[in-house]
Amino acid sequence: MINAVGRDIPEEIIKATGMQPFKGSFARNGEEYKKAAPTVRPRIDPTESKLVDSIADVLKKCGIRDGMTLSFHHHFRNGDKVVNMVMEEVHKMGIKDITICASSLGSAHAPLVPMMEDGTITNIQSSGVRGAIGEAISNGKLKGLAIMRSHGGRVRAIESGDVHIDIAFIGAPTCDEYGNMRANGGKSDCGVLSYAYVDAQYADKVVAVTDTLVPFPNLPASISQVNVDYVVEVDEIGDPAKIATGAAKPTTDVRKLMMAKYTTDVVVNTPWFKNGFVYQTGVGGASIASTKYLGEIMRERGIKMGLGLGGIAGPMCNLLEEGLIEKLVDTQDFDLTAIHSVATNPNHFEITGSEYANPMNKGAYVNRLDYVILASLEVDVNFNCNVVVGSDGVISGAQGGHPDTAAGAKCTIVITPLLQGRIPAICDECTAITTPGETVDIVVTDYGIAINPRRQDLIDCLKKTKLPIYKIEELRDMAYAITGKPEKVQFGDRVVGVIESRDGTIMDVVRQIKPYEWD
C-alpha cells in the first residue's frame, strides 16, 4: 500500500506488525486512546532492601526468561557500558528471543552482534543504530524486525502499549539505596536522564545500575524511588571520555560557515525572530556556527531567546550565561559545558522525553518551537528527509528528534551540503524517508537555499533578502550536473527494518542489502 509520502509499504509487514501506513503528520490529532500500565510489585515492608549484588542476581530476581523486552537509555552515548554488561549476563544464562527497546544504540554496542546471530536478541527497537549493529541488521542477521522510532515516537509507543517493557535497566550516574537517580555528581555524569523517565514509569521491573552509590536521599531526583524495584552497584557504567567531549572546535570549513550564515539569515528575516522566540539547534559544525552568528545579531538588536530546546551543547549554554537566552529545556547533553550547566544554572531545566516530543500527550514542547535547525543525509525534491539509512543502503543513523521537531516547529530548516563526496544530498528520491516533506520548510545548502512551495509566507519574507533562493529541483540539477544522476540502491527482498512515524504508523521500510549487480 502506498502511504502519504509515496512509499510502498508491503502488505505482509502491515499484517505482521499490525501497524497502519503513514497517513499524514497530523492525522491522529485529537484521537483518544487509553494509556498502558505496568504491573507493580509494591514494597510495603520498610525493612526490605532494594540493593542487589550483581546484574546476574537482579536478572533472576526480575524473573528473566525467553522472549522478554529489556529497555535501556542512551544518555551515555558511545561511552555506555550498561547495555553490554546486562546483555552479557543474559547471554551467559542462555536466554533467547530478547527484544531490546533502547532510546538509541551506537557503535559502543557492537558486542550485541554475535547475540543477534545466535538468537539471544531477535528484535531491536531504537531511535537508530550505528556501526556494526546497523550493518548486521542490514545484512539480515536479526531474526525479527528492527523498528526505528523518533524520541517522541518511542515514548508514544511505550505509553500506548505498542511495546511493553518487562525490565528497564537505567544507568544512573548517582543513585541512593532506595533508587533515587540523578545524572550529576558521579563518575560518569551525563547531565540528564530524560529518555529513561518513561521506562521507569511503564516497565514492570525497574533496575537502577550505578557506579556511584550516594547517601539517601539523592535529590533532586531525575527518576524517583517510587518507580524503582532494585539498585545494583557496578564498577563502571560508562566511559566519561566518550560520554561527553570538551568544547567542540569551531569549524573553519568555508562551506559550513556559508551554510551557517544562510541559516542565520533565514532566521532573522522571518517574523518569529523577536523577543521570547523558541529555538532548537543541533551540534553539527554549521549548526554551532549559526548559533554564534545568531548570538551576534541578538546582541546587536537586543533580542532575547525565550527558550532553547532539545539536545544541548556548549554554545547554547554560553548564550544562557550571557543572558541572551532566558531558559534552556534539556533532554540530552552533548558536552561537558552542557552537563555542568544543567547541574548548576537555575534556568537550565531537565525535561522528560514525553514533555519534549511525544505526539500523543496533551502538548509537547516541540509544538512550541518557532525554529528548529536540523541536518539530513538526503533531501528529496518533495522535501522528505532521510536521516537513518546511508546512501549505501545500510542502516547507519538515528531518527532522534528529527521528525518530532520538524512537525512541531513553525519554521523547520534543514542544513545539508549539496554533495557528500560524490553523493548528491538533494535527490529525486531518498533511499528511505524518516521525516515527511510536509513538515520541512527550508533546505540550506552551500549552493543556495530552497523553500518548500507549501510555505508561500516564507517565500514572501525571504525573497526581499539577498539569500540565493532556488527551486529545490534546481539544487538537485546543480548536484547531478557535477556527480551524474545516481542509480537507486539495489536492495534484496526481505524487509529488515521499519521506520516508524512518530504517531506509530509506517513511514518506510528498510530492506536487506545485497551485493551490487552490474547488469
Partner 1 sequence: MEVTSTAMAGTLESSDCQVTVEPGTGIDLSIDSSVINQFGKAIKKTVLETLDRLDVKDAKVTVVDKGALDCTIKARVEGAVFRASGYSEDEICSGKKLPWGGAIR
Tell me the CA distances in angstroms from 294 to 301, 304, 366, one per residue in order.
Answer: 11, 11, 20
Please identify, using beta-carbon distances, which residue of 453 and 484 lies nearer to partner 1.
484
Helix ranges (H only) for 231-375 are 240-243, 254-268, 285-301, 314-322, 336-344, 353-357
Question: Which CA distances in Å does 403 have to 117, 250, 363, 430?
Answer: 31, 27, 16, 15
Q: Which stretch binds partner 1 (CB under 8 A): 34-42, 90-98, 124-132, 478-486?
A: 478-486
Q: Of the candidates 422, 453, 460, 471, which one interacts with partner 1 according to CB under 8 A?
A: 422
Nearest to 209 by CA among 251, 238, 248: 238
Cβ pair 280, 273 in contact under 8 A: no
- Residue 392 near partner 1 by CB under 8 A: yes
Task: Compare residues 31 and 493 and give the one whose CB is closer to partner 1.
Answer: 493
Among 393, 436, 497, 504, binds partner 1 (CB under 8 A): 393
Under 8 Å CB-to-CB from 433, ≥6 apart: which residues?
5, 7, 380, 384, 385, 386, 499, 507, 508
Size of the site for partner 1 (CB under 8 A): 15
Using CB under 8 A as the criterion, what x/- string covers residues 126-165 for binding partner 1? ----------------------------------------
Of 36-44, 175-183, 379-387, 415-423, the window that binds partner 1 (rule: CB under 8 A) is: 415-423
Strand order in the sheet with 325-333: 348-350, 325-333, 305-312, 277-280, 371-375, 411-415, 442-445, 448-451, 469-470
Of the listed pieces 227-235, 329-337, 386-394, 404-412, which binds partner 1 according to CB under 8 A? 386-394
Collapse the DSSP code of 323 into the 3-class scheme (helix H, G, I; strand E, B; otherwise coil) and give the result: coil
Half-sphere exposure of residue 68: CA atoms within 13 angstroms, side-chain side:
21
H or E element in which residue 162 lies: none
- In the list 20, 139, 345, 483, the residue contacting partner 1 (rule: CB under 8 A) is 483
Query: CA 265, CA 267: separation in Å to the nearest integer?
Result: 5
Nearest approach, Cβ of residue 519 and partner 1 (Å): 9
- Among 52-60, 75-83, 371-379, 477-485, the segment contacting partner 1 (CB under 8 A): 477-485
Stretch that binds partner 1, among 10-18, 137-145, 378-386, 480-488 (CB under 8 A): 480-488
Among 71, 58, 59, smallest CA distance to 103 is for 71
13 binds partner 1 (CB under 8 A): no
What does the longest C-alpha to C-alpha distance in the chain come to?
A: 74
How many other CB atoms are there within 10 angstroms of residue 270's CB atom? 23
Residue 489 touches partner 1, criterion: CB under 8 A = yes
CA distance 172 to 294: 35
Among 423, 459, 461, 467, indicate the residue that binds partner 1 (CB under 8 A): 423
Nearer to partner 1, 461 or 489 (CB): 489
51 lines the binding site for partner 1 (CB under 8 A): no
Please state the closest distance from residue 291 (CB atom) to partner 1, in A: 27
Residue 262 and residue 321: Cα distance in Å, rounded? 26
Quick one: which of 11, 53, 235, 487 contacts partner 1 (CB under 8 A)? 487
Q: Which is nearer to partner 1, 153 or 393 (CB)?
A: 393
Name the segment binding partner 1 (CB under 8 A); options: 188-196, 269-277, 402-410, 416-424. 416-424
Q: Which stretch binds partner 1 (CB under 8 A): 115-123, 127-135, 178-186, 486-494?
A: 486-494
Site string for partner 1, 341-380 (x = CB under 8 A): ----------------------------------------
Based on the shown chain and the rule CB under 8 A, indicate whether residue 482 belongs to the binding site for partner 1. Answer: yes
If phi > 0 it is left, if psi is from -120 to 50 it is alpha, else beta; for residue 323 that is left
**Cβ closer to partner 1: 142 or 389?**
389
Indicate which single residue of 235, 362, 421, 464 sits in contact with partner 1 (rule: CB under 8 A): 421
Total Cβ atoms within 10 A of residue 283: 20
Please report how close the Cβ of residue 516 comes to partner 1 at its closest, in angstroms.
5
493 lies in the binding site for partner 1 (CB under 8 A): no
Residues in the chain: 519
Among residues 233 and 253, whose Cβ is nearest to partner 1? 253
Nearest Cα neighbor of 505 from 93, 182, 28 is 28
Binding to partner 1 by residue 486, rule CB under 8 A? yes
Query: Which of residues 301 and 422 has its CB atom nearest to partner 1 in the complex?
Result: 422
**Which of 144, 193, 143 lies closest to 169 in space, CA to CA?**
193
300 is a contact residue toward partner 1 (CB under 8 A): no
- Quote the crossing angle between the two packed helices 336-344 and 314-322, to the nearest 10°: 40
Whichever of 216 and 516 has its CB closer to partner 1, that residue is 516
What angle, 0 to 180 degrees and rounded to 10, lies between the N-to-C axes of helices 285-301 and 254-268? 40
The DSSP code sequence of 88-153 is HHHHHTT---EEEEES---GGGGGGHHHHHTTSEEEEEESB--HHHHHHHHTT--SS-EEE--HHH
| Residue 391 binding partner 1, by CB under 8 A | yes
Stretch that binds partner 1, among 1-9, 39-47, 390-398, 441-449 (CB under 8 A): 390-398
* Cell numbers describing residue 455: 510555505
To partner 1, the closest distance from the beta carbon of 360 in angstroms equals 37
Least distance (Å) from partner 1 to the CB of residue 131? 17
* Complex with partner 1: residue 65 or 422, whichever CB lies closer: 422
Binding interface with partner 1 (CB under 8 A): 391-393, 421-423, 482-484, 486-487, 489-490, 516, 518
